[in-house]
Structure 1
Amino acid sequence: MSRDWVRLGHAIEAARDAKGMTQVALAAAAGVSESTVQNLEAGKERQRQPPSVKKVEAALHWAPGSADAVLAGGEPTPAELEAGRAPHGDGTAGLPLRIVQELSDGPLLDTTVLPLSGDSRMVIVVKGTPDASPDQIRRDLIAWAKAQAVLQNLDHGDGHSDTAN
């Protein structure tokens, strides 16, 4: 049976694009090099399936065996998602899917951790609009600075926060 590596390359690229991921982001999520992702997307013919294919398959949230299905002319199968939470192994394990989607869209602008009562804390991730102009990013950061000032003035235990850019 013939394997269609070009078809697999197109499927990987389409899935990556649909998730708003760059090749660098997919490589990081899969634990492979950017050149590995580039080679897979280029559809380079291979005699054997490299181990990196399974890693990319998992990073794209495809069910095990999806790459084999695509190579044989089929379609990838989305991984089973338990209770509406992200699959394990991609750095978002256990997060609700709507949060995973929000984290994947747009540039990261800032993060902060605000203490609540006891050992509880609130984690805030500020994302910008995908393809935002520098002016829009500046406006977003100004809006975030105002919101952050309000949040830090609320009664959150000892009132301290840890901000990282």
Structure 2
Amino acid sequence: MSKDTSTETASLRYDLLAEAMDERRLELGMKWSELAERTGLSEQSLRNIRSGRSTPRELTVRRLEEALGWVRGAVRDTLAGGRPTVSEIPRIDPGSAGELSWRVEGDVVCYELTRMIGDNPFTARLVVRDGRSREQVERELGKVMEMARIQLED
């Protein structure tokens, strides 16, 4: 989608998109700042999209759909008056080595943290069904990593 000021833009249902984004964000236990981080957008840009002040371009639409675990075309469908469809394909956040990565599986978020312990990679995973923040998940997985390091390096 590109920026457009035609009557077609005026008929788009940004209220439905805003509601769907908020519902999904809460289902995944994300704050708006976390959604912004995952999409590479600012929180203000997300507010502008939700309010209809800004029409998202195609790359932005794809980032939103991936971050929210929606199928391709879900944003467009929602703007047209429909409901977004949750993707059955897990999406993985491309994080660098040692970074927290995540994927959406239905209504849960699966986090993974991989670190080198000695000369071996070690991965800790956590499935989140509640509203824990990304920061809290990072702390919890960090504790698991520390316990693994102690056990494996002895």
Which TM-score bucket, shorter chain as reference? 0.5 to 0.7
Query: SS state of the match for residue 103, structure 1?
Result: strand
1:70 is matched with which residue?
A: 78
Normalized per residue, the structure richer in strand is 2
- Tell me which amino acid in the other structure corresponds to 2:40: G
1:39 is matched with which residue?
A: 48
1:50 is matched with which residue?
A: 56
Q: Distance in 2 between matches of 1:149 and 1:16?
A: 36
Query: SS state of the match for residue 111, structure 2?
Result: helix
Q: Provide structure 1 residue ranges, at least 5 long, that are not aligned to the other structure.
A: 105-109, 132-136, 154-165
Matches within 5 A, 1:4-15: 4-15=13-24
Matches within 5 A, 1:109-124: 112-115=115-118, 120-124=120-124
Q: Provide structure 2 residue ranges, at least 5 long, that are not aligned to the other structure.
A: 1-7, 96-100, 134-138
Structure of higher RCO (CA pairs closer than 8 Å, 6+ residues apart): 2
Q: Provide, for residues 111-150 of structure 1, a one-character-per-residue CA deviation record: whole Å limited to 9, x for no partner.
A: 742146xxx422346899937xxxxx79x95x87555422
Matched length = 130
- Cα RMSD (Å): 4.1
- Tell me which amino acid in the other structure corresponds to 2:16: R
Q: Distance in 2 between matches of 1:35 and 1:96?
A: 24
Deviation at 1:95?
A: 6.9
2:27 is matched with which residue?
A: 18
Q: Distance in 1 between matches of 2:19 and 2:72?
A: 18
Deviation at 1:5?
A: 0.6
TM-score of the pair, normalised by structure 2: 0.61
